Amino acid sequence: MASDQALVDYIADQLRGAGRITTRKMFGEYAVYCDGKVVGLVCDNQLFVKPTEPGLAFAGSVERGPPYPGARPHLMVTERIDDRDWMEELISVTAAAVAARPARPARKAAAPKGGEDKTADRKGGAGKATARKPGDRKPARRAAKRQGRRK
């Protein structure tokens, strides 16, 4: 079930003192941003806040649950959704912790399916891909011409 825009607007209004609050619709639900960082989700008309050490310490005994199947548990804000000061503080400490996290390392390129390089069989070469420009039929001759000009 998709979340209601009116509830998302209400939550954003409740959090306005925590920083620059924006929301973005994603897959029928909403992501909640504070100063450009995702701090929570609104799924099935329920606010889920990212679990961070400072956020957990501040929130105390708040129920936890996944915002969608397969997700890790987030803080479920239900009873205190009308407590503006508490919500602003929770989002402020969560946003600070999210901003302080180190960036994730870049993903490695995936290996070709089947585990082998099939370009060697087709091209008759060593399997190394050659960068070509559109319409370039003879890359070796072109490279030789460039070598000659440099001398």
Residue type, 125: G
Confidence label for 129 from pLDDT (cuts 50, 70 and 90): low
Q: Let me know if 59 is exposed, middle or buried by CB neighbors in 10 A (0-12, 13-18, 19+).
A: buried
Pairing relationship of beta strands 64-65 and 29-34 according to DSSP bridges: unpaired
Confidence label for 105 from pLDDT (cuts 50, 70 and 90): confident
141 compared with 117, residue with greater pLDDT: 141
How many angstroms separate the first and last alpha carbons of the chain? 69
Confidence label for 84 from pLDDT (cuts 50, 70 and 90): very high
CATH topology for 5-100? Answer: Yope Regulator; Chain: A, (3.30.1460)
Residue type, 130: T
Residue type, 133: K
DSSP state of 138: -
Tell me the mean pLDDT in the region 104-115: 66
pLDDT tens-digit readout, 13-38? 999 999 899 999 988 899 999 999 99
> What is the pTM assigned to this prediction?
0.65
